[in-house]
Structure 1
Amino acid sequence: MKIFNWAYSLLKDLNFSEDTASYSNLFVNIVLLIALAYILDIVCKKILILILSVFAARTKSSFDDFLVTNKTAKYVAHLIPLLFVYKTVPVILKQFTYWEDIFEKGIKTYIILLSLWVIRSVFNALRDYLKHKPRFSDKPIDSYIQVIMIMLWILGVVSFITILFDISKTAFLATFGSISAIIILIFRDTILGFVASISVSVNDMVRIGDWITMDKFGADGDVIEINLATVKVRNFDNTTTTIPTYSLISDSFKNWQGMQVSDGRRIKRYILIKPGSVRFIQDNELDTFKDIQFLTSYVEHRKNEIDKFNEVNDFNKSKSILNGRNLTNLGLFRKYITQYLQFHTGINNDMLLMVRHLQPTEKGIPLEIYCFSKDKEWENYEHIMADIFDHIISSVKYFDLEVFEFSYDYLKENK
């Protein structure tokens, strides 16, 4: 502090009046203080950044690397000259109580603000560090960091107001409580997002990397970010959809993660069979179907079973084919598809597999294939499904069946 007293003595020696000397001394001391603080800031910044960089390079942990990336040392370095100014101001302004009070409040406010920046940079480094850990890569780390920072900023604002207006925190909080309804209205989306973030995390509804579909917002892709207010989804066309976090608990969405971690991806698709093409199989046609290896044993077994049934119940097939039981071309086709799927290398036979009729419609009889592919990757899945239906559609004609399709005559008849 001797340098500031020396400036005051010099001004008095130059025959300035005491009041003039005091104000001149104040100006000179402030200039000196700013200059010293600036020099101290530069020195501290260079030293701390160098120390942290060297330390980060020599350690195995990547956390300190993220501290360097988020400029934590730079913000900490700013605190040292600021504390120097805070301790020096009362000395150089001891004769100017009014200005001392203003400077002190300003410095305290900036210290709080700078402290929040330091904390934010540390949390950002922690966020980046955890995102590189497999255990936390799918967790909404951003939401947790944002919640903590909101709490800290609220405490910071309370401290700002109590310092600037010289009011107690108790009195301020009492006033704050009386206007809480207005505050809740202003920060409604933030509060809802906070509640939704906690609910999403606790109930494990969605994680970063999950494939979700939400038709309301046109979202169909992978979750790339979950924060307090929004969830970002990278769609498969490389566009990005932003969904309010609260919508994940207030609206319906589909999460495909269960499929991705399961043993197979479901194939559920049907073809429409023209009802008029369905018929009974005559005995003289059975040899043709026996030549199909997937049906050889089935046809023999079913023929023996049906003949035995008809004989026991004394059904006379020579008078009418409707007497007793019969094989049908659609029944044989269903069995053929089932056998074909069971031998298909892309189908998981340990999961449910069936070929079934759905309710007939004016467009025909829906014959649905319900099974699970082993490969769950979208491109491979589509290839497997297309391969199956290419074969099925090509096989229809060999069973004397027809696939329903719209025609000019059909449209004319159904006008």
Structure 2
Amino acid sequence: MQNFINRIDFNPILEYSLLISLSIIISIIGYLIAKKYVIKVIHKLIFKTKSKWDDTLIKTKFFEELAYIIPPLILLYFSKFYPQNISSIVSQIIGFWIIIVIIKVIDSLLSAVLEIYNTFEISKDKPIKGYIQLFKLLAYILGAIIALCILFDISLLHVLSGVGAFTAVLMFIFRDTILSLIASIQIVANDLFKVGDWIEAQNFGADGEVIDIALHSVKVQNWDKTIVTIPTYKFMENSFKNWRGMAESGGRRIKRSIFIDSNSIHFCTPQLLEKLKSIDLIRDYLDEKSAVVDTTAEITLNKRKLTNIGTFREYMKRYVQSNPNIDSKNFTFIVRQLEQTSKGVPLEVYAFSNKNKWAEYEQIQSDIFDHLLVALREFDLKLYQEPSGEFGSSK
């Protein structure tokens, strides 16, 4: 190359102008050849392989980013033939260029690593997206420092030695990043939640499924399909509820009360007991109780007597327990009377359905209480209901 240059009988300005133009043209041609032909050949070879991980490199455009390093390498080769004053400047610019390309290649490679990792089942329990984003951030910061040092011909050691003086400033700038990193480690290490979990964070209006866990934010898709983005570190400052335990248990809690009008509560009369014995679910219960309590029409507090609310509570228990969609063996099952309120006497069903999908769960719960709300009339009980605006109005 030097002999070729020596033979050109041009003045120095034209000589080096020609050389620079030639080097630029060759670098562009080299890049186009790599992009149009070499990368296509590589893609064809990759598609023929049985493994899928190399396809991810194509998806993240790893080879396209790598092709950008060809022009600066060609220019770097030709720069040694430039004049000394131009060669040093060009070398600094090329060094800056190469560092930028390396950063982009690292970014693409880390994205490929994340894509490959997400194909494994463990990625659902141990997401690494936050760590990948952290590595990318560090790569960009360190790459930018190195690139600027090369561009302005500054010693990297001098720059790094001066970083300590700006630690407080850096801590302030990257405060959220540092807090989010710590939060991400705690979330993964303590298995607080993972992608696919149903979480409820009332402070942020989030009640739905986790769809993404990143370094700086967690995305939750609510059941109305809206998406809430929450800073990762906020989960360490605020409480939230994870419904994963419910999903994994196979059951879902039903906790609902029927409020009985206290004016309708009374002892069971012989006529009421006779009518209630026609109900198969509580016939044996009434026969058993009739042997030990007074079933006459006499109103007395000196003898044990059945009440319509107590009998209805037993009916509620047996009816709910007989439902094939209620799991009373593996979960807590209680039908209880709670403390009387201004809205009546509450009878609460505390049980678990063996279906935890929302629609099925609501259907089971509704069917049970549809029946109980109608059945209480057979026990001479009334549902408590606040008077409407027309109550007592004159006609």
> Shorter-chain-normalised TM-score: which range?
over 0.9
Q: Indicate if the aligned counterparts of 2:23 and 2:74 stay in contact, CA closer than 8 A.
A: no
- Counterpart in 1 of 2:313? 334
Q: Matched residues in 1 for 2:218 and 2:360: separation?
A: 28
- Counterpart in 1 of 2:8? 10
Q: Matched residues in 2 for 1:11 and 1:325: separation?
A: 127
Q: Matched residues in 1 for 2:138 and 2:377: separation?
A: 70
Q: Matched residues in 2 for 1:68 and 1:257: separation?
A: 36
Poorly superposed stretches of 4+, deviation over 6 Å? 409-412
Q: Matched residues in 2 for 1:411 and 1:174: separation?
A: 83
- Counterpart in 2 of 1:102? 89
- Counterpart in 2 of 1:305? 292
**What does the per-residue CA deviation read over 1:223-260, in whole Å, with 9 as the maximum and x for residues that have no partner?**
11111111111111111111111111111111111111
- Secondary structure in 1 matching 2:191: coil
**What does the per-residue CA deviation read over 1:312-352, in whole Å, with 9 as the maximum and x for residues that have no partner?**
xxxxx887521132211111111111111111121112211
Q: Indicate if the aligned counterparts of 1:7 and 1:28 stay in contact, CA closer than 8 A.
A: no
Q: Matched residues in 1 for 2:126 and 2:262: separation?
A: 53
- Counterpart in 1 of 2:49? 59
Q: Matched residues in 1 for 2:175 and 2:189: separation?
A: 21
Q: Show the 5 A alignment for 1:249-264.
A: 249-264=236-251
Q: Matched residues in 1 for 2:99 and 2:64: separation?
A: 16
Q: Indicate if the aligned counterparts of 1:48 and 1:73 stay in contact, CA closer than 8 A.
A: no
Of 319-328 and 215-224, the range deviating more from structure 2: 319-328
Q: Show the 5 A alignment for 1:138-153.
A: 138-153=125-140
Tell me: CA distance 1:364–1:318, structure 2 relative to 1, closer, same or farther (3 Å): closer
- Counterpart in 2 of 1:365? 345
Q: Indicate if the aligned counterparts of 2:53 and 2:116 stay in contact, CA closer than 8 A.
A: yes
Q: How far did residue 410 of structure 1 move?
A: 11
| AA matched with 1:70 | T
- Counterpart in 1 of 2:149? 162
**What does the per-residue CA deviation read over 1:243-290, in whole Å, with 9 as the maximum and x for residues that have no partner?**
111111111111111111112011111121111111111344322222
* Cα-Cα RMSD: 2.1
2:322 pairs with 1:324: no
- Counterpart in 2 of 1:17? none
- Counterpart in 1 of 2:336? 356
Q: How far did residue 121 of structure 1 move?
A: 0.9
Tell me: CA distance 1:67–1:319, structure 2 relative to 1, closer, same or farther (3 Å): closer
2:367 pairs with 1:387: yes
What are structure 2's unaligned runs of at least 5 residues? none
Tell me: CA distance 1:193–1:411, structure 2 relative to 1, closer, same or farther (3 Å): farther
TM-score by length of 1: 0.89
- Counterpart in 2 of 1:378? 358
2:29 pairs with 1:39: yes
Q: Matched residues in 2 for 1:148 and 1:168: separation?
A: 24
2:202 pairs with 1:215: yes
Aligned-pair identity in percent equals 37
* Matched positions, count: 391
- Counterpart in 2 of 1:78? 68
TM-score by length of 2: 0.93
Q: How far did residue 45 of structure 1 move?
A: 2.4
Q: Show the 5 A alignment for 1:227-238.
A: 227-238=214-225
